[in-house]
Amino acid sequence: MTTISGICRDAAGDPVAGRLVRVERLDTGVQLGSALSGDGVTVQGGDPNYSNVSLLLHGNGANNSTTFTDSGPDARTVTRNGTNVVISTTQSKFGGASIYLPGGSGDYLTAASNADFDFGTGDFTIEFWAYATKSQPLDFLNFISSGTTRLLIYLNGGELSFWDTTAGVNIQVAYSWPSGGASWVHFAWCRSGTTMRVFANGVLLTTQTYSASSPSGCDVHIARSWTGGGGREFGGYIDDLRIKKGEALYTAAFTPPAAELPGAGTLLPAGEYSIDCGAYTDDVIVYQYDPADLTIRPQIHFSEPV
């Protein structure tokens, strides 16, 4: 990732907040990004409800890395079980890498129990991108307490399921994975009030009642079989997995995220700006606009993003 950063100043040389800054390719004029200069108070480019994030795994890193970083506000430890779960650059939805889970017994990830995984009767969202390399059954997420599965998200026999074993509630819907699994699909489960909605690639698959208090005190396992004996583990790649407590992000059909899920954002001092130019590394030009009168301020030419 390359960025352009700088400071907007007025005629007297003082930093100016709220000025629109645009970065364009010098050769074609195509816009690469834009932002408002900071005011020292407003967080830019982040999740406005970042504090609701319980777990955020982008799956980024070097090929074969065994570090699985939680980009959520608490930076939880994510433990690798087995020896074959790695960061892989073979497949990715965003960021050039994802989490590879081979689908074998004993190969999974764990985030230890925490109050942020105890949803109670409140709203929550669980979402991730998945690319399967193994046939069904596929156990995606397994919430376990005292050695017993309390909540399981899985796909088996063409049924996508959210199973609260404690409450005896199984929210199921027919689902056929495109290309037999060998394609990226965005899955999301959102509870708003007593209503659970299930989505695949932004399409609302089902709306069902889920009023029970969700299980508490559970470790969260990614790609662990609920039977404990193997054979049901999800095999493939997971990217951009996010769990949010207290927020139902999707309540109707939506367009799946087109970029990596946002983090905390950036608090910029007055007048400063920072714009992501993606992978572009050639000449760019920066325009500054005064939103009060739409005046185009002097152009700034960078030989390349930095």
List, for residues 148-162, the tens digit of each pLDDT value.
Answer: 989 999 999 999 999
The reply to whether 121 falls in a domain is: yes
Q: What percent of the chain has pLDDT over 90?
A: 63
Model confidence pLDDT, tens digit, residues 84-132: 999 999 999 999 999 999 998 899 999 999 999 999 999 999 999 999 9
Question: Is the sign of the CA dihedral 183, 76, 268, 19 positive or negative?
Answer: positive
DSSP state of 117: G
Say whether both 94 and 199 belong to one domain: yes
The reply to whether 259 falls in a domain is: no
Which residues form the domain of 27?
3-45+267-302
Say whether both 89 and 16 belong to one domain: no
Peptide bond into 137 cis (omega under 30): yes
Say whether both 180 and 212 belong to one domain: yes
Q: How far apart, in whole angstroms, are the C-alpha atoms of residue 303 and residue 26?
A: 9
Within the chain, residue ranges assigned H as helices are none
Say whether both 222 and 81 belong to one domain: yes
Say whether both 109 and 218 belong to one domain: yes
Band of residue 304 on the pLDDT scale cut at 50, 70, 90: very low
The reply to whether 252 falls in a domain is: no
Q: Which two tokens stand for residue 292?
A: 């009060």
The reply to whether 120 falls in a domain is: yes
Residue 41 has φ and ψ, to the nearest 5°, of -125, -45
pLDDT averaged over every residue in the chain:
90
Say whether both 96 and 134 belong to one domain: yes
Q: How far apart, in whole angstroms, are the C-alpha atoms of residue 184 and residue 149?
A: 27
Say whether both 195 and 238 belong to one domain: yes
- Candidates 132, 225, 227, 231; CA nearest to 176 is 132
User: Which CATH number covers residue 33?
Assistant: 2.60.40
241 C-beta neighbours (distance < 10 Å), count: 27
The reply to whether 69 falls in a domain is: yes
Say whether both 109 and 185 belong to one domain: yes
CB 92 within 8 A of CB 59: yes
Please give the tally of structural domains in the chain: 2
User: Which CATH number covers residue 57?
Assistant: 2.60.120.200
The DSSP-derived string for 6-41 is: EE-B-TTS-B-TT-EEEEEETTT--EEEEEEPP-SS
Say whether both 162 and 91 belong to one domain: yes
Model confidence pLDDT, tens digit, residues 279-298: 788 888 888 887 665 555 54
Say whether both 162 and 284 belong to one domain: no
